[in-house]
């Protein structure tokens, strides 16, 4: 469904990614592991069109995403939940969710999509008239994921969904990610918590200093001695 081939990405004159290739098949959860600064967020930002690759290609169901603008990419079924959530703090939960329905297909079905998100995230129903900036960290993350889901994506990019959250909230967030995947949404997940990411993922890639250095089935990666030492603390 999502295929990246031989992608190079720069910030000005500084190269951030070298010859990155990866595939996310329909219905999968694929995790991208790596240390801070390895290039994980840069990869997601480039897929969603916020950065343009200097070399290589990005395709979603045969559509070349690297040739179109971010506002067009979402029309082809890709949503991005950025690191740090990026909610509008002075808008209510309901207003933030409504932002996800700005594309015409989602706007037509906004009521149904909003109700579905309220079922998945009951706390958002309770907080619907509360300013997003006053929510807890976990509630903000739920709101950010729900906002991305309002557009009915085929592929969901998630950047560090557990960042700064208590363990019990992290478990809840990852249960929701699995539930979203079971509803037919393909997921590309960037996550510092390699242990929980590999538990829910089908496959994974490891990126180090802008290079993909390892890939494989999630259960195999979780048993790899290098992964255990470098990312699982075992």
Residue 229 lies in a domain: no
Cα gap 70→226, rounded to integer Å: 36
pTM of the model: 0.91
Q: Establish if 90 belongs to a structural domain.
A: yes
Domain residues for the domain of 115 are 85-152
Q: Give domain status of residue 48, yes or no.
A: no
- On whether residue 194 sits in a domain, the answer given is no
Q: What are phi and psi of 134, to 5 degrees?
A: -100, 0
What tens-digit pLDDT sequence spans the chain (234 residues)? Answer: 899 999 999 999 999 999 999 999 999 999 999 988 899 999 999 999 999 999 999 999 989 999 999 989 988 999 999 888 889 999 999 999 988 888 777 777 777 888 888 888 889 999 989 999 999 988 999 999 999 998 889 999 999 998 888 888 899 899 999 999 999 999 999 998 899 999 999 999 999 999 999 999 999 999 999 999 988 876
SS3 label, residue 70:
helix
Enclosing H/E stretch for 31 = strand 29-33
Q: What 8-state DSSP symbol labels residue 119?
A: H
In a domain, 192, yes or no: no
The encoded tokens of residue 20 equal 């990155």
Residue 161 inside a domain? The answer is no
3-class DSSP state for residue 114?
helix
Domain assignment present for residue 172? The answer is no
Residue 105 lies in a domain: yes
Q: How many domains does the chain have?
A: 1
DSSP characters for 97-161? HHHTT-SHHHHHTHHHHHHHHHHH-HHHHHTTTSBGGGS-HHHHHHHHHHHHHTT--SEEEEE-T
Cα separation, 151 vs 108, in Å, equals: 10
The residues that bridge with 11 in the sheet, in sequence order, are 14
Burial code of 203-224, b = ≥16 C-beta within 10 A, e = fewer?
bbbbbeebebeebeebeebbee
């Amino acid at each position: 469904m999502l295929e990246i081939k031989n992608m190079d990405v720069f910030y000005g004159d500084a190269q951030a990614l070298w010859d990155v290739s990866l595939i996310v098949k329909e219905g999968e959860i694929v995790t991208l592991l790596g240390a801070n600064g390895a290039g994980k967020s840069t990869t997601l930002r480039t897929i969603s069109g916020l950065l343009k690759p200097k070399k290589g290609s990005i395709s979603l169901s045969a559509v070349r995403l690297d040739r179109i603008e971010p506002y067009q990419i979402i029309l082809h079924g890709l949503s991005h939940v950025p690191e740090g959530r990026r909610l509008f703090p002075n808008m209510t939960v309901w207003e933030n969710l409504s932002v996800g329905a700005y594309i015409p297909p989602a706007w037509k079905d906004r009521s149904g999509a909003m109700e579905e998100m309220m079922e998945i995230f009951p706390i958002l129903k309770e907080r619907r008239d509360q300013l997003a900036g006053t929510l807890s960290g976990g509630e903000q993350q739920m709101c950010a994921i729900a906002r991305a889901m309002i557009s009915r994506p085929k592929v969901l990019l998630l950047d560090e969904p557990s960042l700064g959250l208590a363990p019990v909230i992290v478990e809840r967030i990852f249960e929701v990610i699995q539930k979203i995947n079971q509803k037919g949404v393909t997921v590309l997940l960037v996550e510092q918590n390699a242990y929980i990411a590999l538990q829910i993922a089908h496959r994974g890639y490891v990126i180090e200093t802008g290079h993909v250095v390892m890939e494989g089935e999630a259960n195999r990666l979780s048993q790899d001695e290098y992964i255990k030492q470098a990312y699982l603390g075992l």
